[in-house]
Amino acid sequence: MLSVEFCGLKLENPTVLASGILGTSAELLKRVAKSGAGALTPKSIGYSPRAGHKNPAVVALSKDTIVNAVGLPTPGYRNMDDELKKYSEIPVPIICSIYGSSPEEYAEIAKYVQKFKIDMIELNISCPHRGDGILFGADPVKTREVIKAVKQVAKLPIMPKLTPNCKNIIEIAISAQDAGADALCALNTFGPKPFPVNSLNASVPGFGKGGISGPSIFEETLDIISDIYDVVKIPILGMGGVMTGSDAMRMMKAGASAVGVGSAVHYRGIDVFAKICRELKEIMSEQNILRLESVVGENSK
């Protein structure tokens, strides 16, 4: 059985579209649902309209690494009603991702978006290249402040998205849990790293550097998820370089209750969700696994 329960959400399978990959358009998100995703996370919605960084925003650094510096483009949460209304037509759970510049902004957006038919709120405290230096997720105190502010208004489960770009992610994860997070999303992209121009690419992201994703970050992500699983009780949405059913299975065994899929959409197409599910089913039958939920954390340290 591929179905999993994640933080009270019933998912037909554990694959979740990661935020930032396919925008916020309800029509496109409907296609992703039809392509087999168990849940969807639209691009993070911010407080005020913001244009984002110059193009190119997403560049392949090597065959297994993608660099992005999209720059949090958003129409601003008050200008999202048309799309947010249409999310009610999407047949799988929606995890609405939001970001702000202060705990109060997060709380205000969270209060607003939950008027629409969404199922969970992701707090993006971890974009690595906002350009204004704010990285709430690198600081346990600021992480707690954002979560506490949102918790006061939230009727839905809330899930901060953690960053690997911090001194001690275990401290951040515990702080998030203690502040009232219902789940953790781990992880956002690595970096930003300076972007060496090489023979594989002609262009540099418009921002000059960007967050790293793709298969090259998978093993490191797996280790971090396993470390977090060992210290928290709340469920983890694991993501970072998952390409195949085998990767998804390893991530669940490391401690993820559901698995985010992002860069794999670029590598394997929009139907990557169905492909990963088929591969997962094969592995389950080979390994005699009846319920996917039973493997979560099996290989943690």
Query: Would you tell me which residues interact with ligand RRO (CB under 6 A)?
Result: 20, 44, 68-72, 124, 126-129, 188-189, 211
Q: Cβ 85 to ligand RRO, closest distance in Å? A: 23
Q: Is the torsion defined by CA of 45, 50, 53, 56 positive or negative?
A: positive
- How far apart (Å, rounded) are the C-alpha atoms in residues 184 and 270? 25
Residue 127 annotated in active site: yes
Instruction: Identify whether the C-beta of residue 197 lies closer than 8 Å to the C-beta of residue 59.
Output: no
Given the complex with ligand RRO, which of 65 and 126 has the nearer CB atom?
126
Given the complex with ligand RRO, which of 103 and 128 has the nearer CB atom?
128
Q: Cβ 191 to ligand RRO, closest distance in Å? A: 8
Q: Cβ 282 to ligand RRO, closest distance in Å? A: 31
Q: Cβ 289 to ligand RRO, closest distance in Å? A: 32
Distances in whole angstroms, Cα of residue 301 to Cα of each of 168, 189, 225, 247 = 18, 23, 10, 18
Instruction: Identify whether the C-beta of residue 205 lies closer than 8 Å to the C-beta of residue 59.
Output: yes
**Strand-strand pairing, 65-68 and 95-98:** unpaired
Given the complex with ligand RRO, which of 42 and 128 has the nearer CB atom?
128
Q: Looking at 96, 127, 185, 277, which residue is catalytic?
A: 127
Given the complex with ligand RRO, which of 57 and 283 has the nearer CB atom?
57
Give the CB-side neighbour count of residue 27, counting CA atoms within 13 A: 1
**Strand-strand pairing, 4-6 and 9-11:** antiparallel
Give catalytic residues, as residue numbers. 127
